[in-house]
Amino acid sequence: MEKVGVIGVGQSSFVRGYPGSIRELAFEGFKEAMEDARIQTKDIGASIIASAPEYDKQRSPAGVIAEYLGLVPQPTFYIESICSSSSMALRVAYSMIKAGLHDVIAIVGFQKMSEISSGESQERMGRGADIQWESPFGTMMPAYYAMYANAHMAEYGTGEEDLAKIRVKAATYGQINEKAVYRKPVTLEMFADPESTMSATVAKPLRVGDCCANADGSSCIIVASEEKAKALCDKPVWILGLGAASETVNMAGRDLLTGLKVAIEAGKQAYTMAGVTPKDIDVAEVHDCFTIAEMMAYENLGFAKPGEGKDLIGSKETYKEGSIPVNVDGGLLSKGHPIGATGGSQIRTIVLQLRGEAGGMQVKDPEIGLVHNIGGVGLYGNVTILGR
C-alpha cells in the first residue's frame, strides 16, 4: 500500500506575547519546516491551516496565511477541532494525498493567545464545551479536567503528588527545550509550598503546577506521497497509523470519568492500522494540558492498566531512560500549549526523535513513535503512529 511520509517539520519558539501578527507567527514554523524539507513553495500542492477561532480578529485565516507564506494560488482551507486542530489537519492531508489530489501538503498550525486576557481565554475555552447547558454554570477547562482527576482519585486512589510528579518530569525536559515557554525546574516541594505559585489552587484538586501554560506559537508539518517523499527526503518518517474519534460535548452524556473514551477509541484505530501494540511504542507525545490528562493517557493508550498510571510515573518509566518515554520535550505543561499549533509540535518532536535529531532530549534509537492529541475535554481525539 502506498505510504504517506513526513518530509519536513518546524515550529516557532512557544512564547508569551509574541511581538508580531498571526501571519508572521505562522511564517516562523513554516520557514523552519521548509528549510528542513529543502523544498520550494512551488513544490507544495495545497496548504491546510489549523487553529481555534476567537483568539485573534482574523476571519478565515487560511487565505491570509497562505498568501503570506507564498502558497497562492494553491488551494488552502481551515481545519478546526480546538486543541487537536493540527492533528486533524494531518488526517485530512493524509487522505488527500492517498486520494491522489496532491503529492505534497503543508499543515500550518498557529495560535496567538496573548491578544486576550487569561480570564477571556478561559471563557473562550469554556465555550469549547456545551454553551447552552454547561457554560452558564461558569465552566472552564481546568475545572472539567479536575472533575476527571477527582473521579480518578476516588476510583484508583491516585494522589495529588502522583499528578505533581508528571509536572516535575515535564519541567525536567522543558529546561533543555530551547523552544519551550517555561524553562525552569519544578520540584515536588514547590507543590507543597504555599509561597510557591505552583501550589495555588485553580480548580480542586488541580493547582497552577498541574496546568499547561498558554503560549503563542506556530508549527508546520510537510507531508508527501511515498514517491515524492523518497525523491525529496533522505530520512522520511512514515505515517503508520491514524485514529480519530469524538465524544458527547455535554458531561451529562459521558459514562467514563476516569479516562477519555476518544483516546481509547482513536488509539485502537491507530494501533490496528499500524499493526502494532502499545509495547511497540518507543517514544510518545501525549496531550498533557493538565497532569491528570497525561495520567489518563498512559492508561487509555495501554502504557499502563487503568489505575496504574501512578506506578508508571512513580517508577520514572516515562522519563527519557524509561521503558516508554513520554513528553520528553517538556509537553504542553512546560513547552506551552498554543492550541492550534500543539499537534504539529507533537508530531515534530516525534519526527525528530525517529530521525535521531532530538539533541539532549533524544531517546535511544526509537523506531516507532506515537502522538496523542486531544481537543476540548476529550471532545475530539487524534492518535497518530509514526515510524522510520
Partner 1 sequence: MAKKEVDDRFKRFGTVSFTAITKANDFISYLEKGKVMGTRCKECGAIYFPPRSDCSKCLQSNMEWFEVSGTGRLLSFSELKYGPVGFEEDLPYTIALLDYGDYKVFGRISKDLPYGDLNVGMELSTEPTTLPNGQLSYVFKRP
> 325 Cβ partners below 8 Å, 6+ apart?
282, 283, 284, 318, 319, 363
Q: Is 136 in the site for partner 1 (CB under 8 A)?
A: yes
Query: Least distance in Å: CB of 126 to partner 1?
Result: 5
CA distance 348 to 33: 9
Number of residues that bind partner 1 (CB under 8 A): 42
Residue span binding partner 1 (CB under 8 A) among the ranges 37-45, 99-107, 194-202, 263-271: 194-202
Angle between helix axes 339-355 and 85-98 (nearest 10 degrees) is 60
Stretch that binds partner 1, among 165-173, 198-206, 238-246, 309-317 (CB under 8 A): 198-206
Can 337 be counted among the known catalytic residues? yes
Set of cell numbers at residue 357:
535529531
257 to 296, contacts with partner 1 by CB under 8 A?
Answer: 257
| Sheet arrangement for strand 283-285 | 76-79, 46-50, 104-111, 217-225, 4-11, 237-246, 380-387, 368-375, 283-285
The string of DSSP codes covering 324-337 is S-B-TT-IIIII--
Q: Contacting partner 1 (CB under 8 A), which of 185, 200, 275, 314?
A: 200
DSSP H helical ranges for 177-275 = 188-192, 226-232, 261-274
Using the minimum distance from each CB to partner 1, give the nearer residue, 206 or 328: 206
Position among 143, 163, 297, 352 found at the interface with partner 1 (CB under 8 A): 143
Q: Is 151 in the site for partner 1 (CB under 8 A)?
A: yes
Asked if 350 contacts 369 with a C-beta cutoff of 8 angstroms, the reply is yes
Phi, psi of 48 (to 5 degrees): -125, 125
Shortest CB 57 distance to partner 1, Å: 17
145 vs 380 by CB, closer to partner 1: 145
Residue 201 makes contact with partner 1 by CB under 8 A: yes
Whether the Cβ atoms of residue 104 and residue 222 lie closer than 8 Å to each other: yes
Contact flag: residue 84 with partner 1 (CB under 8 A): no
- List residues binding partner 1 (CB under 8 A): 117, 119-120, 122-123, 126-127, 130-140, 142-144, 146-151, 154-155, 200-206, 250-254, 257
Supply the residues annotated as catalytic: 83, 337
